[in-house]
Amino acid sequence: MKLLVFILTVLAMPLLAFVLSFTRHWFKYVYVGIMVAMCLYQQTSINFFSHELYRGSSRGMEVSLAHLMAMVLIGALLLAHRFRRWVPDKGYFLYIIYFLLCLPSFMNAESHLYAWFEIWKMIMLYVFYIAVYNYLKVTNDLETVSVTLACFTIVNFLTIVYNHFSGVYQPHGLFPHQNSMAMAMHLFGTIFFAAYLTRRLFKPFGILCILAFFCGAVATLRSYSRMAIALMPIGYGLVALACLVRDRQRSHFYRYIAVIVISILGLAVMMPRIVERFQRAPSASGDTRKELALCAWEMIKDKPMRGVGINNWGLKINLPYEYALRAGRVPNRKEGYLDGIVETVYLLVCAECGIPALLAMLAWFGWYYHLSIRNMRRWRRTDWFFLPAGAFGGLTITFMQSFFEWVLRQQLNLICLMFLFAILSYLNSTKPIRPKIHYRIRKVEKVQVTS
């Protein structure tokens, strides 16, 4: 049934793009459709040549409804002659370099099919990024983008509430794993925390921001992801500091006090479970992380420039390859057993694709981290300051968490990251939208002068 729906959707895409090209006002509905598809990502995605038991970062040639809607939006923009750029800025030029430096590892891979899964994912991410960026350049519709982001965060929280009452100890919401859900909620939760600190509260958008901030923060805590909870004060603290430097109005200090009080009360309620999660964490988990990191180091020493093959970690960590034995990890010789992935994105990329690809990825990440800081200065006196300020805190947590978890390589997390990168690229390439100033015009009464 899913394959039939996919075929019908692909056949309808050209006609849909042609119809949408006649008016720019309809572009908004396609964009909203992308966000709705993200909320139903697991239900509306299909894996071609699927290998679900493979322990790698990609297990199939995955296509989701969100990607198809993004292609429709690109097609409509091209037909309407409103398309802007294929390579928006230097950051995405760095992404292309990173992509090209991963191709030699494709040729070096043991399984070209598994390697193609990851290459395909990178191509689809490019499509998604280009669609969101060009939509913003054509419409300047930051309001719809912000509202849909908030709705996505709230829907994820409602899914967690449903999972909680279904007896799930660590709910994962709209994501495949609780750690990946916590990482994405850091990206979006910090944005709406910045909106709470800077925007007007008693307006519809302000109330939505407060609700999204609450949903994002509680979802992160409810995931019981140890690293996400440990890094939470750093990201939110940086956002609070940036907003405090930008706006020192006395009335806004009450917002900080309210956050502190509510945080203390919330932690008091959830602290027993959080402490239990930290205390009862098995020591074998830490040992496994260290052993897999040593295995990655052995792969890097063996093939430092090309790596062992993109998305081929799941093969090379097991027998008959000797990387695990060299690192002192005793492989499980049970038939059909596959060892796990190294819990560090940076070591995983370096082991699979080589040192040049890792350096390109770090440069790509670093560019957008730089843009978050730069846009805070440029958009300081506008209502949209909260977007780069929240991105600054969210990216800080994401890049730090990636030292300890590999979930940033999962498809939906990368989509969320590309979404944020597209927003930062748009903010960097657009003149800041200043708030309108309303002047009071005094009426001057005419005085009749008589001689």
- In this model, does residue 24 exceed pLDDT 80? no
Mean pLDDT of 219-232: 85
Q: How confident is the model at residue 267 (pLDDT cuts 50, 70, 90)?
A: low
Higher local confidence (pLDDT), 54 or 331: 54
- In this model, does residue 143 exceed pLDDT 80? yes
Using CB atoms within 10 Å of the CB of residue 245, give its burial: 0 to 12 exposed, 13 to 18 middle, 19+ buried. Answer: exposed
Which stretch, 40-54, 77-91, 140-154, has highest mean pLDDT? 140-154
- In this model, does residue 397 exceed pLDDT 90? yes
Mean pLDDT of 399-413: 90
Mean pLDDT of 236-256: 78
pLDDT at 274: 65
- In this model, does residue 147 exceed pLDDT 70? yes
Q: How confident is the model at residue 10 (pLDDT cuts 50, 70, 90)?
A: confident
160: left (phi over 0), alpha (psi -120 to 50) or beta: alpha
**Strand (E) or helix (H) holding 48:** strand 45-48
Rounded Cα–Cα distance for residues 272 and 333 (Å): 39
Mean pLDDT of 206-230: 88
Mean pLDDT of 22-34: 83
In this structure, how many other beta carbons lie within 10 angstroms of the beta carbon of residue 306? 22
- In this model, does residue 374 exceed pLDDT 90? yes
Q: Where are the alpha helices (DSSP H) in 248-354?
A: 253-279, 283-302, 313-316, 323-326, 345-353
pLDDT at 451: 39
Positive/negative CA dihedral, 41, 340, 337, 308: positive
Summarised one tens digit per residue, pLDDT across range 160-202 is 999 888 878 778 888 988 889 999 999 999 999 999 888 887 7
- In this model, does residue 227 exceed pLDDT 60? yes
Mean pLDDT of 339-355: 90
pLDDT at 251: 61
Among the residue ranges 9-18, 155-164, 306-315, 382-391, the one predicted with the least confidence is: 9-18
- In this model, does residue 448 exceed pLDDT 50? no
Using CB atoms within 10 Å of the CB of residue 409, give its burial: 0 to 12 exposed, 13 to 18 middle, 19+ buried. Answer: buried
pLDDT at 276: 65
Angle value at C-alpha 283, between 330 and 410, nearest 5 degrees: 75
Residue type, 50: S
pLDDT at 442: 39
Q: Please give the mean pLDDT across all residues of the chain.
A: 83
Higher local confidence (pLDDT), 443 or 99: 99
Among the residue ranges 73-87, 202-216, 235-249, 332-346, the one predicted with the least confidence is: 332-346
pLDDT at 64: 87
Q: How confident is the model at residue 445 (pLDDT cuts 50, 70, 90)?
A: very low
Contact 402, 133 (CB under 8 A): no
| pTM greater than 0.85 | yes
Mean pLDDT of 338-365: 91
- In this model, does residue 57 exceed pLDDT 90? no
pLDDT at 250: 61
Q: Which residues contact 189 (CB under 8 A, 6 or more apart)?
A: 153, 212, 213, 215, 216, 217, 219, 220, 236, 394
Percent of the chain at pLDDT above 90? 31
Mean pLDDT of 443-449: 42
Q: Where are the alpha helices (DSSP H) in 318-438?
A: 323-326, 345-353, 355-378, 386-401, 411-429
Q: How confident is the model at residue 439 (pLDDT cuts 50, 70, 90)?
A: very low
Among the residue ranges 67-76, 93-102, 271-280, 346-355, the one predicted with the least confidence is: 271-280
pLDDT at 337: 62
- In this model, does residue 450 exceed pLDDT 60? no
Would you state the structure tokens that stand for residue 237, as one six-digit string? Answer: 């603290």
Grouping H, G, I as helix, E, B as strand and the rest as coil, residue 189 is helix
Q: Where are the alpha helices (DSSP H) in 303-322?
A: 313-316
- In this model, does residue 285 exceed pLDDT 90? no
Q: How confident is the model at residue 29 (pLDDT cuts 50, 70, 90)?
A: confident
